[in-house]
Structure 1
Amino acid sequence: MDIAVIGVSAEAVEIYRYFLRHPGDSVGSARQRLADADPERVQAIVEELGRLGLLDIKDRHRVVATEPRVGVERLIEKRLDELNMEIRRVLETRDVIATLEEDLRGGESSSGVLAIERVEGLDEVRRRIDDLGFFCYEQTLALHPGGPLSPGAIETGRVVATRNLRRGLSVREVYHPTALGNPLMDSYLRDLASLGAQIRITEAQMDRMVIFDSVAVVAIHPKESHRGALLVREPGLVSQLITYFDGVWQDAVDLRNFTEPSADAPQLSELERRVLSVMATADKDEVAAREIDVSVRTYRRYVADLMARLGAVNRFQAALRAKEENWI
């Protein structure tokens, strides 16, 4: 038995158990009976158990072990108090963020941070993309004009997108049809869609880029992405790039509709069907989101999109029309 997490070693537990089995025994008797243990070591552990409150050693000739329910529970509570204090100290460090942000803004205004930063080498680009994705708070937008992504790019994209989707961020990506048909790539896109990402396909020409909130990442050379990327922070330019993305997005087709075209009822993802199924039954968004295992933000985004597609003015009407149209 090892309860070191509350400050009691496995060796100390054995000595504590000895005194539980031999109430009123002396320290000297314990040293003699525990033949495998070093007598000085036994003495030191008995002292430690006394400090921990597991043994009453006021009378060394008659040691009394504290009842486990009392002694161990007291140590658990003490450890929990220590952990809570540690958590509070960690959380309090957030207060420094505001001060550090002021320093950052002051540095930007005085020295001028590069509005466009050149990053060379695929490994460094992927590292910077992972950093940008980690500190993203609202949305990720991406255009992929070529064929299937490389295994390395897929792994980087999977980590960033999965983390952001689980945090409730909006993830919208547009791919060219040539990206489809590769087993690894198709599995990647299906996984993202199942987590709540919105994936569309377009045959139109587009430039490769990724946008994390207010930072855009574009290739140094549109035909040679291996050369590196430009990190764009200039607000006016980023705004234009977002407008460009929105134009491509509006003309693109949902991944499911592209791969499984149908003239009948619209193809819905599994997540969309689950959203529809709880819209009319859950009285709170938090309950519905928890039931289908998505964030509240993701649930509300899907509800808004489905209501618009169904032409419904409220959620109950949307669920009713979905049943009438055989969507669910």
Structure 2
Amino acid sequence: MGETSLSTNEMSYLGLTEEQEQIYRLCLREPGIGIDGLIDQLRLSPHAAREELGRLRELGLLRGGGTPQQEAGSGTDEDGLAAADPDVAVARLLDLRLHELHEKLQQVTELQPLVASLRPESTAQQPPTVVGIEQITDPPKIRDRIDDLAFFAREEVSLVEPATALRPEDIEQDRPRVLRCLRRGLSVRTVLVRKALDHAPTVSYLRELESHGARVRLISHTTAKIQMYDRRTAVVPVHPEESSRGALFAQESGLVSNILAMFESIWAESDDLGALLGERRSEGEDGPSELERMVLRAMCSGGKDEAGARDLGVSVRTYRRYIADLMQLLGAGNRPQAALLARERGWI
């Protein structure tokens, strides 16, 4: 296929065929290319090209190129083809693949009754499987086990964290795991202590989770540290004040039920994050929170958004959302005006 040929199908893990990837890449390189140019450069038959174009349009990776009826009637296109931005395209494909994977996992778990129907057919007497408590002390193994529980969870994740502030390394470790659960449509509930509102990076992380669909609450005080997956598996520390002693993974129904009841009690006694932040805003007479002051200072420093987000321990998207909220609060039309108004009000 000449210079446009690819040695590997790099987007195959996102569900694209080699031909679909070649078309998408060519449309990125040559915006406005028509179907005739595409057929000529990639050496595709008209039928194959239209078929692959149709699939790419369905996926939202291409726009234009005329209607399918126009193409069928004339063999040419009038409008030319435009490729979706790579960030948008990859995010869309990832979501589709995660959805497909989630459906397959559900189908696999529904096969569990098959084991019960097959067991009586076995002539060998197998000892019953003991489902109880497992203690793991090695931190990497603990993380791996938690990653597995989150990956195979199908319904709900429930968390309680008694720390007054989340360490940056903990946030970076937990963020992708929790966001994957939210993207798959799981219910995520998390509870922290109110003192965490004094730690800007923690608040920013909680607001990010909330913006993706998590339900976040805060309680005056708790010593419980709980992770619950699908109400079937609970993870608790061996000792609440000595993390080096490892974690307990419980699947014993009686114990898990008690831990779940403890979580529900903590949840019922806690208050929504949004309500508490609203109270603090009212007490501050519409002034900014400490986190918002940090965002304003980062914005006024003149650095790039990526640097400001990194300093605050948040994503670039969350950082920009904070700036947009502050501009609205200040009544500013742009960032320089927002900086000027913030200085006039003594916010920075």
Q: Give the unaligned 5+ runs of structure 2.
A: 7-17, 23-38, 54-96, 283-348
**Equivalent residue of 2:201, what SS?**
helix
1:233 to 247, 251, 257: 251
* Cα gap change, 1:201 to 1:96, in 2 (>3 Å): closer
How many Å separate the matches in 1 of 2:185 and 2:105? 24
Q: How far does residue 161 in structure 1 lie from its aligned partner after superposition? A: 1.5
Amino acid of the residue matched to residue 154 of structure 2?
Y
1:164 to 166, 178, 181: 181
Q: If you compute each CA radius of gyration, which structure gives the higher value, 1 or 2?
A: 1
* Cα gap change, 1:183 to 1:2, in 2 (>3 Å): same
Q: How far does residue 255 in structure 1 lie from its aligned partner after superposition? A: 1.2
Q: Work out whether residues 130 and 156 of structure 1, in 8 Å CA contact, stay in contact via their aligned partners in 2.
A: no
Q: Work out whether residues 122 and 227 of structure 1, in 8 Å CA contact, stay in contact via their aligned partners in 2.
A: no
- Residue 155 in structure 1 maps to residue 172 in structure 2: yes
How many Å separate the matches in 1 of 2:175 and 2:271? 22
Residue aligning to 1:178? 195
Q: Work out whether residues 162 and 195 of structure 1, in 8 Å CA contact, stay in contact via their aligned partners in 2.
A: yes
* Cα gap change, 1:114 to 1:102, in 2 (>3 Å): same
**TM-score, normalization by structure 2:** 0.48
Residue aligning to 2:158? 141
Residue aligning to 1:72? 45
* Cα gap change, 1:261 to 1:102, in 2 (>3 Å): same
Residue aligning to 1:221? 239
- Residue 2 in structure 1 maps to residue 20 in structure 2: no
Residue aligning to 2:145? 128
- Residue 250 in structure 1 maps to residue 252 in structure 2: no
Amino acid of the residue matched to residue 210 of structure 2?
A
Q: Work out whether residues 4 and 42 of structure 2, in 8 Å CA contact, stay in contact via their aligned partners in 1.
A: no
**Equivalent residue of 1:205, what SS?**
coil
How many Å separate the matches in 1 of 2:41 and 2:263? 65
Amino acid of the residue matched to residue 244 of structure 1?
M
* Cα gap change, 1:179 to 1:231, in 2 (>3 Å): same
**TM-score, normalization by structure 1:** 0.51
Q: Work out whether residues 216 and 273 of structure 2, in 8 Å CA contact, stay in contact via their aligned partners in 1.
A: yes
* Cα gap change, 1:3 to 1:263, in 2 (>3 Å): closer
* Cα gap change, 1:74 to 1:3, in 2 (>3 Å): farther
How many Å separate the matches in 1 of 2:253 and 2:239? 22
How many Å separate the matches in 1 of 2:237 and 2:168? 18
Residue aligning to 1:208? 225
How many Å separate the matches in 2 of 1:93 and 1:208? 28
Q: Give the unaligned 5+ runs of structure 1.
A: 10-65, 81-86, 265-328
* Cα gap change, 1:74 to 1:100, in 2 (>3 Å): farther
Aligned pair count reads 201
**Equivalent residue of 1:260, what SS?**
helix
How many Å separate the matches in 1 of 2:177 and 2:148? 9
CA RMSD of aligned residues (A): 4.1
Deviations 1:129-182 (CA, angstroms, capped at 9, x unpaired): 111111111111111112212223212321121111112211111101232322
Residue aligning to 1:24? none
Amino acid of the residue matched to residue 239 of structure 1?
S
How many Å separate the matches in 2 of 1:187 and 1:200? 14
How many Å separate the matches in 2 of 1:158 and 1:125? 17
Deviations 1:259-285 (CA, angstroms, capped at 9, x unpaired): 331799xxxxxxxxxxxxxxxxxxxxx
How many Å separate the matches in 2 of 1:196 and 1:210? 18
Q: How far does residue 120 in structure 1 lie from its aligned partner after superposition? A: 1.2
How many Å separate the matches in 1 of 2:106 and 2:180? 21
Q: Where do 1:1-328 residues align within 5 Å? A: 1-4=3-6, 5-6=18-19, 72-76=45-49, 102=114, 110-213=127-230, 214-261=232-279
**Percent identity (aligned):** 31
How many Å separate the matches in 2 of 1:197 and 1:94? 22
